Amino acid sequence: MRSPGKMSMLGWRGLPGLHSCIRPSLFGLRAPRRGCDAGRGLQVERERGESTVSANLSEDEERWRLALEVAGEGVWDWDLHSGQMYRSPLWSEILGYAPEETASLKWGVLLHPDDREEAQRKLSACLSGESSDFVAEFRLCCKNGDYRWMASRARVVARDESGRPGRMIGVYQDIHEARSLSDALQASERLWQFALEGHGDALWDWTLESGEINVSQTFRAIIGLPADRPLRGNDIWPSRLHPDDVRTTVAAFSAHLAGVRPITEAEFRLRTEEGAYRWVALRGKIMERDRNGKPLRMIGTVRDVHDHYLSAEREMRQQQELARAARLIHVGEMASALAHELNQPLTALRNFSAVALRRLDELGAVGECIRGPLQLIAEQALRAGEIVHRVRGFVRRDGLLTAPIAINGVVTDIVRFMEFEARAHAVQWQLALAEPPLWVQGDQVQLEQVLSNLAKNAIDAMSEVEGERLLRIETREGADGMVEVVVSDSGGGLAETVREDPFAPFVTTKPDGVGLGLAICRTIIENHGGRMWVERSTRLGTTFCLSLPPPAE
Protein backbone atom coordinates (compact mmCIF):
# COMPACT_ATOMS: atom_id res chain seq x y z
CA MET A 1 0.00 0.00 0.00
CA ARG A 2 1.46 3.37 -1.03
CA SER A 3 1.83 6.04 1.58
CA PRO A 4 0.02 9.37 1.15
CA GLY A 5 3.40 10.98 0.62
CA LYS A 6 4.09 8.92 -2.46
CA MET A 7 0.56 9.34 -3.78
CA SER A 8 0.90 13.11 -3.83
CA MET A 9 3.78 12.89 -6.32
CA LEU A 10 2.45 10.19 -8.64
CA GLY A 11 1.09 10.52 -12.10
CA TRP A 12 2.71 13.82 -13.05
CA ARG A 13 5.29 12.67 -15.58
CA GLY A 14 6.61 15.58 -17.55
CA LEU A 15 6.22 18.08 -14.70
CA PRO A 16 9.44 20.15 -14.41
CA GLY A 17 11.43 19.44 -11.28
CA LEU A 18 9.18 16.60 -10.10
CA HIS A 19 12.06 14.28 -9.12
CA SER A 20 14.35 17.08 -8.01
CA CYS A 21 11.89 17.90 -5.24
CA ILE A 22 12.71 14.57 -3.57
CA ARG A 23 15.24 15.11 -0.77
CA PRO A 24 17.18 12.43 1.17
CA SER A 25 15.70 13.68 4.42
CA LEU A 26 12.31 12.52 3.17
CA PHE A 27 13.58 8.93 3.31
CA GLY A 28 15.59 9.04 6.59
CA LEU A 29 19.06 9.73 5.00
CA ARG A 30 21.58 12.18 6.51
CA ALA A 31 23.88 14.45 4.49
CA PRO A 32 27.65 13.60 4.74
CA ARG A 33 30.05 15.71 6.84
CA ARG A 34 32.68 17.71 5.00
CA GLY A 35 36.22 16.35 5.06
CA CYS A 36 35.21 12.99 6.27
CA ASP A 37 36.50 9.90 4.50
CA ALA A 38 33.13 8.42 4.90
CA GLY A 39 31.67 11.20 2.75
CA ARG A 40 32.28 9.41 -0.48
CA GLY A 41 30.57 6.30 0.88
CA LEU A 42 27.57 8.24 2.01
CA GLN A 43 27.40 9.98 -1.34
CA VAL A 44 27.30 6.61 -3.06
CA GLU A 45 24.60 5.37 -0.71
CA ARG A 46 22.60 8.51 -1.29
CA GLU A 47 22.81 8.19 -5.05
CA ARG A 48 21.80 4.56 -4.83
CA GLY A 49 18.82 5.49 -2.63
CA GLU A 50 17.73 8.24 -4.96
CA SER A 51 18.02 5.90 -7.93
CA THR A 52 15.89 3.28 -6.18
CA VAL A 53 13.26 5.85 -5.17
CA SER A 54 13.16 7.29 -8.68
CA ALA A 55 12.68 3.84 -10.13
CA ASN A 56 9.88 3.11 -7.68
CA LEU A 57 8.23 6.43 -8.39
CA SER A 58 8.42 5.90 -12.14
CA GLU A 59 6.89 2.46 -11.74
CA ASP A 60 4.08 3.82 -9.53
CA GLU A 61 3.50 6.71 -11.90
CA GLU A 62 3.15 4.36 -14.84
CA ARG A 63 0.87 2.05 -12.90
CA TRP A 64 -1.41 4.94 -11.86
CA ARG A 65 -1.42 6.43 -15.35
CA LEU A 66 -2.47 3.12 -16.87
CA ALA A 67 -5.19 2.66 -14.24
CA LEU A 68 -6.62 6.11 -14.98
CA GLU A 69 -6.54 5.51 -18.73
CA VAL A 70 -8.32 2.18 -18.31
CA ALA A 71 -10.95 3.97 -16.21
CA GLY A 72 -11.29 6.60 -18.92
CA GLU A 73 -10.05 9.39 -16.66
CA GLY A 74 -7.29 11.95 -17.03
CA VAL A 75 -5.58 14.21 -14.50
CA TRP A 76 -4.76 17.87 -14.31
CA ASP A 77 -2.44 19.78 -11.98
CA TRP A 78 -2.67 23.54 -11.65
CA ASP A 79 0.06 25.69 -10.09
CA LEU A 80 -1.88 28.78 -9.07
CA HIS A 81 1.30 30.80 -8.33
CA SER A 82 2.81 30.39 -11.80
CA GLY A 83 -0.44 29.75 -13.63
CA GLN A 84 1.01 26.65 -15.29
CA MET A 85 -1.42 23.80 -15.94
CA TYR A 86 -0.47 20.20 -16.59
CA ARG A 87 -3.00 17.91 -18.30
CA SER A 88 -2.54 14.26 -19.12
CA PRO A 89 -2.62 13.27 -22.83
CA LEU A 90 -6.24 12.10 -22.61
CA TRP A 91 -7.31 15.75 -22.47
CA SER A 92 -6.01 16.53 -25.95
CA GLU A 93 -7.33 13.23 -27.32
CA ILE A 94 -10.87 13.96 -26.12
CA LEU A 95 -10.92 17.47 -27.60
CA GLY A 96 -9.11 16.53 -30.82
CA TYR A 97 -5.97 18.61 -30.27
CA ALA A 98 -2.35 17.62 -30.68
CA PRO A 99 -0.49 17.38 -27.33
CA GLU A 100 1.66 20.43 -28.11
CA GLU A 101 -1.46 22.53 -28.83
CA THR A 102 -3.02 22.15 -25.40
CA ALA A 103 -0.43 24.22 -23.52
CA SER A 104 -1.89 27.50 -24.78
CA LEU A 105 -5.56 26.49 -24.32
CA LYS A 106 -7.42 28.21 -21.50
CA TRP A 107 -10.18 26.25 -19.72
CA GLY A 108 -12.43 29.27 -19.30
CA VAL A 109 -12.28 30.06 -23.02
CA LEU A 110 -13.20 26.49 -23.99
CA LEU A 111 -16.28 26.43 -21.72
CA HIS A 112 -19.72 26.51 -23.32
CA PRO A 113 -21.32 29.93 -22.66
CA ASP A 114 -24.32 28.32 -20.95
CA ASP A 115 -22.05 26.40 -18.53
CA ARG A 116 -19.50 29.12 -17.84
CA GLU A 117 -21.21 30.92 -14.97
CA GLU A 118 -22.04 27.77 -12.97
CA ALA A 119 -18.60 26.20 -13.47
CA GLN A 120 -16.80 29.41 -12.51
CA ARG A 121 -18.98 29.76 -9.43
CA LYS A 122 -18.11 26.24 -8.24
CA LEU A 123 -14.41 26.79 -8.94
CA SER A 124 -14.39 30.05 -6.98
CA ALA A 125 -16.15 28.35 -4.05
CA CYS A 126 -13.47 25.65 -3.95
CA LEU A 127 -10.56 28.10 -4.23
CA SER A 128 -11.97 30.29 -1.46
CA GLY A 129 -12.47 27.32 0.84
CA GLU A 130 -16.26 27.67 0.84
CA SER A 131 -16.48 24.10 -0.47
CA SER A 132 -13.90 21.35 -0.08
CA ASP A 133 -14.21 19.93 -3.61
CA PHE A 134 -14.80 21.20 -7.09
CA VAL A 135 -17.39 18.95 -8.75
CA ALA A 136 -18.90 20.00 -12.07
CA GLU A 137 -20.21 18.86 -15.43
CA PHE A 138 -19.69 21.17 -18.40
CA ARG A 139 -19.18 21.31 -22.14
CA LEU A 140 -15.80 22.11 -23.72
CA CYS A 141 -15.20 23.25 -27.28
CA CYS A 142 -13.38 20.69 -29.43
CA LYS A 143 -10.94 21.59 -32.18
CA ASN A 144 -13.63 21.02 -34.82
CA GLY A 145 -15.98 23.48 -33.08
CA ASP A 146 -18.30 20.90 -31.52
CA TYR A 147 -18.93 20.86 -27.78
CA ARG A 148 -18.31 17.78 -25.69
CA TRP A 149 -19.54 17.01 -22.17
CA MET A 150 -16.87 16.55 -19.51
CA ALA A 151 -17.01 15.85 -15.78
CA SER A 152 -14.33 16.98 -13.36
CA ARG A 153 -13.60 16.61 -9.67
CA ALA A 154 -10.73 18.43 -7.94
CA ARG A 155 -9.41 19.73 -4.64
CA VAL A 156 -6.97 22.39 -3.45
CA VAL A 157 -3.98 20.47 -2.04
CA ALA A 158 -1.73 23.35 -0.98
CA ARG A 159 -2.36 26.74 0.61
CA ASP A 160 0.06 29.30 2.06
CA GLU A 161 0.04 30.58 5.62
CA SER A 162 -2.67 33.14 4.79
CA GLY A 163 -4.90 30.44 3.29
CA ARG A 164 -4.41 31.41 -0.35
CA PRO A 165 -4.53 28.38 -2.69
CA GLY A 166 -1.25 27.36 -4.25
CA ARG A 167 -1.94 24.09 -5.99
CA MET A 168 -5.05 22.26 -7.22
CA ILE A 169 -5.22 18.70 -8.50
CA GLY A 170 -8.14 16.99 -10.18
CA VAL A 171 -9.39 14.32 -12.56
CA TYR A 172 -11.61 14.60 -15.61
CA GLN A 173 -13.71 12.18 -17.61
CA ASP A 174 -15.45 12.18 -20.96
CA ILE A 175 -19.20 11.79 -20.22
CA HIS A 176 -20.47 12.96 -23.59
CA GLU A 177 -22.07 9.69 -24.65
CA ALA A 178 -23.76 9.11 -21.30
CA ARG A 179 -24.94 12.72 -21.10
CA SER A 180 -26.23 12.69 -24.67
CA LEU A 181 -28.14 9.49 -23.95
CA SER A 182 -29.55 11.01 -20.76
CA ASP A 183 -30.58 14.16 -22.62
CA ALA A 184 -32.21 12.06 -25.32
CA LEU A 185 -34.09 10.04 -22.72
CA GLN A 186 -35.24 13.22 -20.98
CA ALA A 187 -36.35 14.70 -24.28
CA SER A 188 -38.23 11.50 -25.07
CA GLU A 189 -39.78 11.54 -21.61
CA ARG A 190 -40.85 15.17 -22.02
CA LEU A 191 -42.38 14.33 -25.38
CA TRP A 192 -44.19 11.33 -23.88
CA GLN A 193 -45.34 13.46 -20.95
CA PHE A 194 -46.55 16.20 -23.30
CA ALA A 195 -48.44 13.69 -25.43
CA LEU A 196 -50.16 12.07 -22.43
CA GLU A 197 -50.87 15.25 -20.51
CA GLY A 198 -52.16 16.81 -23.71
CA HIS A 199 -54.96 14.24 -23.46
CA GLY A 200 -55.57 15.04 -19.80
CA ASP A 201 -53.49 12.22 -18.32
CA ALA A 202 -51.21 12.85 -15.34
CA LEU A 203 -48.13 10.70 -14.80
CA TRP A 204 -46.71 8.85 -11.80
CA ASP A 205 -43.55 6.78 -11.27
CA TRP A 206 -43.44 4.65 -8.11
CA THR A 207 -40.32 2.93 -6.73
CA LEU A 208 -41.88 0.19 -4.62
CA GLU A 209 -38.86 -0.74 -2.49
CA SER A 210 -38.14 2.79 -1.23
CA GLY A 211 -41.74 3.93 -1.47
CA GLU A 212 -40.69 7.09 -3.34
CA ILE A 213 -43.15 8.31 -5.96
CA ASN A 214 -42.67 11.00 -8.59
CA VAL A 215 -45.77 12.62 -10.04
CA SER A 216 -46.23 15.15 -12.82
CA GLN A 217 -47.44 18.69 -12.26
CA THR A 218 -50.80 17.71 -13.75
CA PHE A 219 -51.15 15.05 -11.04
CA ARG A 220 -50.28 17.61 -8.36
CA ALA A 221 -52.81 20.03 -9.81
CA ILE A 222 -55.61 17.44 -9.59
CA ILE A 223 -55.28 17.11 -5.82
CA GLY A 224 -53.79 20.53 -5.11
CA LEU A 225 -50.30 19.43 -4.03
CA PRO A 226 -47.52 22.06 -3.88
CA ALA A 227 -44.98 21.67 -6.67
CA ASP A 228 -41.99 21.25 -4.35
CA ARG A 229 -43.38 18.79 -1.78
CA PRO A 230 -41.56 15.41 -1.83
CA LEU A 231 -43.85 12.39 -1.89
CA ARG A 232 -43.95 8.72 -1.01
CA GLY A 233 -46.39 6.16 -2.35
CA ASN A 234 -48.31 6.10 0.93
CA ASP A 235 -48.88 9.86 0.62
CA ILE A 236 -51.12 9.14 -2.37
CA TRP A 237 -52.65 5.74 -1.76
CA PRO A 238 -54.15 4.50 0.42
CA SER A 239 -54.00 7.56 2.71
CA ARG A 240 -55.90 9.81 0.26
CA LEU A 241 -58.40 7.18 -0.88
CA HIS A 242 -62.06 7.60 -0.07
CA PRO A 243 -62.93 5.01 2.62
CA ASP A 244 -65.55 3.43 0.36
CA ASP A 245 -62.96 2.90 -2.41
CA VAL A 246 -60.06 1.44 -0.40
CA ARG A 247 -61.02 -2.23 -0.73
CA THR A 248 -61.58 -2.24 -4.51
CA THR A 249 -58.52 -0.09 -5.25
CA VAL A 250 -56.16 -2.17 -3.11
CA ALA A 251 -57.55 -5.30 -4.78
CA ALA A 252 -56.81 -3.84 -8.24
CA PHE A 253 -53.19 -3.09 -7.29
CA SER A 254 -52.73 -6.47 -5.60
CA ALA A 255 -54.04 -8.39 -8.60
CA HIS A 256 -51.45 -6.77 -10.87
CA LEU A 257 -48.57 -7.02 -8.39
CA ALA A 258 -49.33 -10.73 -7.98
CA GLY A 259 -49.33 -11.22 -11.75
CA VAL A 260 -53.03 -12.04 -11.97
CA ARG A 261 -53.75 -9.05 -14.24
CA PRO A 262 -51.45 -7.51 -16.87
CA ILE A 263 -52.14 -3.93 -15.72
CA THR A 264 -53.77 -2.07 -12.85
CA GLU A 265 -57.02 -0.32 -13.71
CA ALA A 266 -59.21 1.38 -11.11
CA GLU A 267 -61.52 4.33 -10.61
CA PHE A 268 -61.66 5.88 -7.16
CA ARG A 269 -61.87 9.14 -5.24
CA LEU A 270 -58.75 10.95 -4.02
CA ARG A 271 -58.82 13.52 -1.23
CA THR A 272 -57.51 16.93 -2.25
CA GLU A 273 -55.53 19.31 -0.06
CA GLU A 274 -58.81 21.16 0.65
CA GLY A 275 -60.37 17.96 2.01
CA ALA A 276 -62.80 17.36 -0.88
CA TYR A 277 -62.76 14.18 -2.97
CA ARG A 278 -62.31 13.95 -6.75
CA TRP A 279 -62.94 10.96 -8.98
CA VAL A 280 -59.89 9.77 -10.95
CA ALA A 281 -59.22 6.88 -13.32
CA LEU A 282 -55.85 5.13 -12.85
CA ARG A 283 -53.85 2.83 -15.09
CA GLY A 284 -50.48 1.40 -14.10
CA LYS A 285 -47.98 -1.30 -15.02
CA ILE A 286 -44.89 -2.85 -13.42
CA MET A 287 -41.86 -1.82 -15.50
CA GLU A 288 -39.06 -3.42 -13.50
CA ARG A 289 -38.62 -6.59 -11.42
CA ASP A 290 -35.63 -8.18 -9.68
CA ARG A 291 -34.21 -11.59 -10.60
CA ASN A 292 -36.77 -13.27 -8.34
CA GLY A 293 -39.69 -11.51 -9.99
CA LYS A 294 -40.28 -9.06 -7.15
CA PRO A 295 -41.79 -5.79 -8.47
CA LEU A 296 -39.37 -2.86 -8.17
CA ARG A 297 -40.87 -0.04 -10.21
CA MET A 298 -44.33 0.83 -11.44
CA ILE A 299 -45.41 3.69 -13.71
CA GLY A 300 -48.81 4.81 -14.89
CA THR A 301 -51.32 7.55 -15.57
CA VAL A 302 -54.15 9.21 -13.72
CA ARG A 303 -57.03 11.03 -15.39
CA ASP A 304 -59.41 13.43 -13.67
CA VAL A 305 -62.92 12.06 -14.37
CA HIS A 306 -64.69 13.96 -11.60
CA ASP A 307 -66.84 16.12 -13.89
CA HIS A 308 -67.76 13.05 -15.92
CA TYR A 309 -68.91 11.26 -12.76
CA LEU A 310 -70.95 14.26 -11.63
CA SER A 311 -72.56 14.50 -15.05
CA ALA A 312 -73.36 10.78 -15.01
CA GLU A 313 -74.82 11.06 -11.50
CA ARG A 314 -76.96 14.03 -12.53
CA GLU A 315 -78.20 12.16 -15.58
CA MET A 316 -79.00 9.11 -13.47
CA ARG A 317 -80.88 11.25 -10.92
CA GLN A 318 -82.84 12.92 -13.72
CA GLN A 319 -83.78 9.54 -15.13
CA GLN A 320 -84.83 8.38 -11.67
CA GLU A 321 -86.91 11.52 -11.16
CA LEU A 322 -88.59 11.06 -14.53
CA ALA A 323 -89.34 7.43 -13.69
CA ARG A 324 -90.73 8.43 -10.30
CA ALA A 325 -92.81 11.19 -11.85
CA ALA A 326 -94.28 8.73 -14.34
CA ARG A 327 -95.08 6.28 -11.55
CA LEU A 328 -96.61 9.04 -9.43
CA ILE A 329 -98.84 10.05 -12.31
CA HIS A 330 -99.96 6.44 -12.59
CA VAL A 331 -100.46 6.26 -8.80
CA GLY A 332 -102.47 9.48 -8.93
CA GLU A 333 -104.74 8.07 -11.58
CA MET A 334 -105.22 4.91 -9.53
CA ALA A 335 -105.82 6.93 -6.35
CA SER A 336 -108.48 9.00 -8.07
CA ALA A 337 -110.21 5.87 -9.34
CA LEU A 338 -109.99 4.19 -5.91
CA ALA A 339 -111.34 7.28 -4.19
CA HIS A 340 -114.30 7.26 -6.48
CA GLU A 341 -114.93 3.55 -5.94
CA LEU A 342 -114.44 3.69 -2.14
CA ASN A 343 -116.65 6.70 -1.61
CA GLN A 344 -119.89 4.75 -2.10
CA PRO A 345 -119.20 1.83 0.35
CA LEU A 346 -117.88 4.28 2.95
CA THR A 347 -121.03 6.34 2.65
CA ALA A 348 -123.08 3.16 3.14
CA LEU A 349 -120.95 2.25 6.20
CA ARG A 350 -121.60 5.63 7.77
CA ASN A 351 -125.32 5.35 7.13
CA PHE A 352 -125.60 1.80 8.51
CA SER A 353 -123.59 2.71 11.64
CA ALA A 354 -125.89 5.70 12.21
CA VAL A 355 -128.97 3.46 11.90
CA ALA A 356 -127.39 0.93 14.32
CA LEU A 357 -126.76 3.68 16.89
CA ARG A 358 -130.39 4.82 16.67
CA ARG A 359 -131.59 1.24 17.24
CA LEU A 360 -129.35 1.08 20.33
CA ASP A 361 -131.12 4.15 21.65
CA GLU A 362 -134.41 2.23 21.33
CA LEU A 363 -132.97 -0.80 23.21
CA GLY A 364 -131.89 1.28 26.16
CA ALA A 365 -129.38 -0.18 28.61
CA VAL A 366 -129.32 -3.58 26.91
CA GLY A 367 -127.19 -2.32 24.02
CA GLU A 368 -124.81 -0.02 25.90
CA CYS A 369 -121.98 -2.61 25.85
CA ILE A 370 -121.57 -2.26 22.10
CA ARG A 371 -122.26 1.48 21.84
CA GLY A 372 -118.54 2.40 22.19
CA PRO A 373 -117.20 0.17 19.41
CA LEU A 374 -120.13 1.07 17.16
CA GLN A 375 -119.55 4.77 17.75
CA LEU A 376 -115.87 4.31 16.89
CA ILE A 377 -116.85 2.54 13.66
CA ALA A 378 -119.02 5.48 12.72
CA GLU A 379 -116.24 7.98 13.46
CA GLN A 380 -113.65 6.01 11.51
CA ALA A 381 -116.00 5.63 8.56
CA LEU A 382 -116.50 9.39 8.57
CA ARG A 383 -112.74 9.92 8.85
CA ALA A 384 -112.09 7.46 6.01
CA GLY A 385 -114.53 9.34 3.83
CA GLU A 386 -112.74 12.62 4.58
CA ILE A 387 -109.39 11.02 3.73
CA VAL A 388 -110.77 9.76 0.42
CA HIS A 389 -112.09 13.24 -0.29
CA ARG A 390 -108.67 14.76 0.51
CA VAL A 391 -106.89 12.17 -1.64
CA ARG A 392 -108.98 13.20 -4.61
CA GLY A 393 -108.15 16.83 -3.87
CA PHE A 394 -104.46 15.96 -3.40
CA VAL A 395 -104.36 14.26 -6.80
CA ARG A 396 -106.17 17.21 -8.42
CA ARG A 397 -103.88 19.60 -6.48
CA ASP A 398 -106.83 21.39 -4.91
CA GLY A 399 -106.12 24.08 -2.33
CA LEU A 400 -105.81 23.20 1.36
CA LEU A 401 -108.79 23.63 3.69
CA THR A 402 -106.83 25.10 6.59
CA ALA A 403 -108.02 26.44 9.91
CA PRO A 404 -106.51 27.05 13.38
CA ILE A 405 -106.04 23.60 14.96
CA ALA A 406 -104.92 22.59 18.46
CA ILE A 407 -102.06 20.23 17.65
CA ASN A 408 -102.32 18.48 21.03
CA GLY A 409 -105.89 17.48 20.13
CA VAL A 410 -104.73 15.95 16.85
CA VAL A 411 -102.16 13.88 18.77
CA THR A 412 -104.70 12.59 21.33
CA ASP A 413 -107.10 11.67 18.52
CA ILE A 414 -104.36 9.61 16.84
CA VAL A 415 -103.63 7.83 20.14
CA ARG A 416 -107.31 7.00 20.52
CA PHE A 417 -107.68 5.80 16.92
CA MET A 418 -104.61 3.53 17.14
CA GLU A 419 -104.97 2.31 20.72
CA PHE A 420 -106.04 -1.20 19.71
CA GLU A 421 -103.15 -1.67 17.25
CA ALA A 422 -100.58 -0.38 19.75
CA ARG A 423 -101.92 -2.68 22.46
CA ALA A 424 -101.79 -5.66 20.09
CA HIS A 425 -98.03 -5.09 19.65
CA ALA A 426 -97.33 -4.32 23.34
CA VAL A 427 -96.40 -0.72 22.50
CA GLN A 428 -96.65 1.89 25.22
CA TRP A 429 -97.48 5.52 24.53
CA GLN A 430 -95.52 8.38 26.01
CA LEU A 431 -96.91 11.87 25.39
CA ALA A 432 -95.05 15.11 26.07
CA LEU A 433 -97.59 17.73 25.02
CA ALA A 434 -96.77 21.41 25.31
CA GLU A 435 -98.55 23.52 27.88
CA PRO A 436 -100.25 25.79 27.20
CA PRO A 437 -101.53 23.99 24.07
CA LEU A 438 -99.99 25.04 20.76
CA TRP A 439 -102.03 25.93 17.69
CA VAL A 440 -101.17 25.48 14.03
CA GLN A 441 -102.71 26.56 10.75
CA GLY A 442 -103.55 23.40 8.85
CA ASP A 443 -105.92 20.82 7.44
CA GLN A 444 -106.87 18.55 10.34
CA VAL A 445 -107.64 15.50 8.21
CA GLN A 446 -104.32 15.68 6.39
CA LEU A 447 -102.39 16.27 9.62
CA GLU A 448 -104.12 13.26 11.18
CA GLN A 449 -103.09 11.29 8.09
CA VAL A 450 -99.43 12.29 8.56
CA LEU A 451 -99.29 11.51 12.29
CA SER A 452 -101.15 8.22 11.94
CA ASN A 453 -98.69 7.17 9.22
CA LEU A 454 -95.72 7.99 11.46
CA ALA A 455 -97.29 6.18 14.42
CA LYS A 456 -98.08 3.13 12.27
CA ASN A 457 -94.48 2.99 11.00
CA ALA A 458 -93.18 3.24 14.58
CA ILE A 459 -95.42 0.39 15.77
CA ASP A 460 -94.31 -1.79 12.84
CA ALA A 461 -90.63 -0.99 13.55
CA MET A 462 -90.98 -2.18 17.16
CA SER A 463 -93.08 -5.27 16.46
CA GLU A 464 -90.05 -7.59 16.49
CA VAL A 465 -87.93 -5.74 19.06
CA GLU A 466 -87.19 -7.41 22.37
CA GLY A 467 -87.56 -5.37 25.53
CA GLU A 468 -89.39 -2.09 26.02
CA ARG A 469 -91.45 -0.79 23.10
CA LEU A 470 -92.01 2.91 23.55
CA LEU A 471 -93.74 5.29 21.15
CA ARG A 472 -93.18 8.90 22.17
CA ILE A 473 -94.92 11.95 20.70
CA GLU A 474 -93.83 15.43 21.72
CA THR A 475 -95.18 18.85 20.78
CA ARG A 476 -93.02 21.93 21.30
CA GLU A 477 -92.31 25.40 20.05
CA GLY A 478 -89.33 25.59 17.71
CA ALA A 479 -86.57 28.17 17.85
CA ASP A 480 -87.87 29.78 14.65
CA GLY A 481 -91.42 30.21 16.01
CA MET A 482 -92.78 27.17 14.19
CA VAL A 483 -94.65 24.43 16.05
CA GLU A 484 -92.79 21.12 16.06
CA VAL A 485 -94.10 17.58 16.48
CA VAL A 486 -91.57 14.84 17.27
CA VAL A 487 -92.43 11.14 16.86
CA SER A 488 -89.80 8.67 18.11
CA ASP A 489 -89.67 4.93 18.72
CA SER A 490 -87.35 2.40 20.35
CA GLY A 491 -87.09 0.15 17.29
CA GLY A 492 -84.03 -0.90 15.33
CA GLY A 493 -83.62 2.34 13.38
CA LEU A 494 -83.79 3.01 9.67
CA ALA A 495 -82.61 0.29 7.32
CA GLU A 496 -79.42 0.91 5.34
CA THR A 497 -81.36 1.00 2.06
CA VAL A 498 -83.52 3.97 3.11
CA ARG A 499 -81.17 5.78 5.50
CA GLU A 500 -79.79 8.19 2.93
CA ASP A 501 -83.23 9.46 1.86
CA PRO A 502 -86.16 7.91 3.77
CA PHE A 503 -88.63 10.21 1.97
CA ALA A 504 -87.79 8.98 -1.53
CA PRO A 505 -90.90 7.58 -3.24
CA PHE A 506 -91.12 3.87 -4.04
CA VAL A 507 -88.38 3.02 -1.52
CA THR A 508 -89.53 0.63 1.20
CA THR A 509 -88.34 -2.22 3.44
CA LYS A 510 -91.82 -3.63 4.04
CA PRO A 511 -92.73 -6.70 1.99
CA ASP A 512 -96.27 -5.38 1.49
CA GLY A 513 -95.34 -1.68 1.20
CA VAL A 514 -95.16 0.54 -1.88
CA GLY A 515 -92.85 3.22 -0.46
CA LEU A 516 -95.20 6.19 -0.79
CA GLY A 517 -96.25 6.84 2.82
CA LEU A 518 -93.37 9.08 3.92
CA ALA A 519 -93.14 10.76 0.52
CA ILE A 520 -96.82 11.77 0.74
CA CYS A 521 -96.39 12.86 4.38
CA ARG A 522 -93.54 15.20 3.52
CA THR A 523 -95.46 16.63 0.59
CA ILE A 524 -98.45 17.35 2.86
CA ILE A 525 -96.26 19.09 5.46
CA GLU A 526 -94.43 21.13 2.80
CA ASN A 527 -97.80 22.16 1.31
CA HIS A 528 -98.62 23.51 4.78
CA GLY A 529 -95.50 25.68 4.67
CA GLY A 530 -93.53 23.45 7.04
CA ARG A 531 -90.82 20.85 6.69
CA MET A 532 -90.20 17.25 7.72
CA TRP A 533 -86.91 15.57 8.59
CA VAL A 534 -85.22 12.68 10.39
CA GLU A 535 -83.29 13.58 13.52
CA ARG A 536 -79.86 11.91 13.49
CA SER A 537 -79.04 10.29 16.81
CA THR A 538 -76.66 7.69 18.23
CA ARG A 539 -79.39 6.09 20.33
CA LEU A 540 -81.57 3.22 19.13
CA GLY A 541 -84.77 3.85 17.24
CA THR A 542 -85.89 6.52 14.79
CA THR A 543 -87.05 10.07 15.35
CA PHE A 544 -89.16 11.94 12.79
CA CYS A 545 -89.72 15.67 13.20
CA LEU A 546 -92.11 18.02 11.47
CA SER A 547 -92.72 21.73 11.78
CA LEU A 548 -95.92 23.65 11.06
CA PRO A 549 -96.69 27.36 10.98
CA PRO A 550 -98.83 28.85 13.77
CA PRO A 551 -102.12 30.57 12.86
CA ALA A 552 -101.78 34.05 11.39
CA GLU A 553 -102.59 36.71 13.96
Please enumerate in sequence order all residues whose Cβ is within 8 A of that of 444, keeping only pairs 6 or more positions apart, or say none: 403, 405, 410
Residue ending a domain, choose from 27, 47, 70: 70
Residue 407 lies in a domain: yes
Higher pLDDT, 372 or 185: 372
459 lies in the same domain as 528:
yes
CA distances from 294 to 208, 264, 286, 298, 430 (A): 10, 16, 10, 12, 67
- For residues 227 and 177, what is the distance between their CA atoms, to the nearest angstrom? 31
354 lies in the same domain as 440:
no
230 lies in the same domain as 267:
yes
284 lies in the same domain as 405:
no
Cα-based torsion angle of the residue sequence 302, 308, 314, 319 in order, rounded to the nearest 10 degrees: -110
**363 is in which domain, residue-wise?**
309-398
CA distances from 297 to 108, 197, 232, 287, 300 (A): 42, 21, 13, 6, 10
405 lies in the same domain as 544:
yes
Structurally, how many domains does the chain consist of?
A: 4
Residue 137 lies in a domain: no
Residue 161 lies in a domain: no
Does residue 107 sit in helix, strand or coil? helix
Three-state secondary structure along 214-245?
EECHHHHHHHCCCCCCCCEHHHHCCCCECHHH
536 lies in the same domain as 441:
yes
**Which pLDDT tens digit goes with each residue over 461-519?**
898 888 889 999 999 999 889 999 999 999 888 877 677 778 776 666 665 555 677 88
User: In the chain, what percentage of residues exceed pLDDT 70?
Assistant: 73
Q: How is residue 426 annotated by DSSP?
A: T
229 backbone dihedrals φ, ψ, rounded to 5°: -80, 120
pTM over 0.95: no
Handedness of CA 117, 118, 121, 123 (dihedral sign): negative
Residue ending a domain, choose from 367, 398, 429: 398
CATH code where residue 341 lies = 1.10.287.130
185 lies in the same domain as 198:
yes
445 lies in the same domain as 340:
no
426 lies in the same domain as 502:
yes
224 lies in the same domain as 193:
yes
192 lies in the same domain as 252:
yes
Q: Is pLDDT above 60 for 160?
A: yes
**Which pLDDT tens digit goes with each residue over 24-69?**
332 233 334 444 454 555 454 555 555 555 555 566 656 666 666 6
Residue 171 lies in a domain: no
Residue ending a domain, choose from 363, 379, 398: 398
324 lies in the same domain as 412:
no
